[in-house]
Amino acid sequence: MPDRPVPCAPPDAIVDASGNIALGVYDRPFRRANLADASLSLGPIPLGRTASRLRLKEWQHFAIVLPEAMLTFAIVDAKVLGASWCHFVNRDGTGQFEHEHKGPLLNVRVARDLWDDETYVRTHRYRIQVRNHLDAGEHKIRIFIRGHGSAPSVEADLRCLHDFDQITPLEVVLPVGPGRAMYSHKVPLPVEGTLTVGQRVLEARPEEARAILDVHKAHYPRHTWWNWATFVGRDDTGRSIGLNLTSNVNRQDDQFNENAVWLDGRMEMLAPARFELNPNQPLEPWRIRTLDDAVDLVFRPLGERSEDVHMGLLRSVFHQPFGTFSGSIRTVGGTIHVGDAWGICEDHDAIW
């Protein structure tokens, strides 16, 4: 098995006082996830810090997997456009519905860092707040969304638990073009609390409920694309497993990537990933492998959420099917056999 990056302790900030970006793979979050301080340029012309902040795309995404259902939600700040969605589906693929808001004046904020800061979207009928407080080992989620039409109300009071002695996150800063980088934090976490959908109350218990957290900040090129796969579940011996695989515009995915597997909280980096799918038929099975053949998975969609957004100079064509993964993952400690782990994939092409 070829050498893979070994996560190390991060510096205090992604961008130092001289403007250098700390490319690499790390074992815990930056105290200052300040990618907005990077200096961008257009060819030989420096654009300055203001342009850097206006070009930064940021989001925080959760996929909360319970024994009977999955709730996914995201809060996105693309500067010229704010967006949020909250999607629910039963584990058998039934009962799917979604609430969403987007617009240039939407009141959204993505946390500067994860140690003690807040991500939120606020409207009269749609509110999501995430209190990121890793100094206390937790992310607290509050959701209040009023029902409308056939989509019932959603309320949540949830707590995602992050003990660094038990779970190692995936923390990466990767190049996505000349002078441009992306920052990503991904980790599967136990969840406790209550989710209420209409009149239905679902209890989250940490021994069986998991959240897949994805935090992202990037100076992507104007034309951006990615494929993404993530899941949580149990292997055939009952151990908890989680996976993250991405193929995107990263220019050095053989050196740095955001591919990892978690086994009972222990993270192991993986080789570059490649996705085989029919982009015109995203509900057909996907084949997902790594270049060293250590990962060989089939994803079988049960449904999807999708968007096709055209707003002037902006375009976003997005498919996020949900369903089950099966196959095998070869690690240093042996082969993990996966059967019907629940998660999501994504095929996204954007001009922004």
Question: For the segment 115-125, what is each residue's pLDDT rounded down to a tens digit?
Answer: 999 999 999 99
The two counts, helices (H) then strands (E), for the chain are: 1, 25
Structure tokens at 116: 């003690």
pTM for the structure as a whole = 0.95
> How far out from the chain centre does Cα 167 lie?
17
Question: What pLDDT shows up at residue 316?
Answer: 83
Q: H or E segment at 216?
A: strand 210-218
Question: What pLDDT shows up at residue 307?
Answer: 85
Question: What pLDDT shows up at residue 111?
Answer: 98
Distance CA 149, CA 303 (A): 21
Sign of CA dihedral 224, 227, 231, 235: negative
Question: What pLDDT shows up at residue 1?
Answer: 47
Provide, for the chain, the percentages of residues in helix, strand and coil under a 3-state DSSP scheme, each rounded to the nearest 5.
Answer: 5, 60, 35
Residues of the chain with pLDDT under 50: 1
Question: What pLDDT shows up at residue 3?
Answer: 66
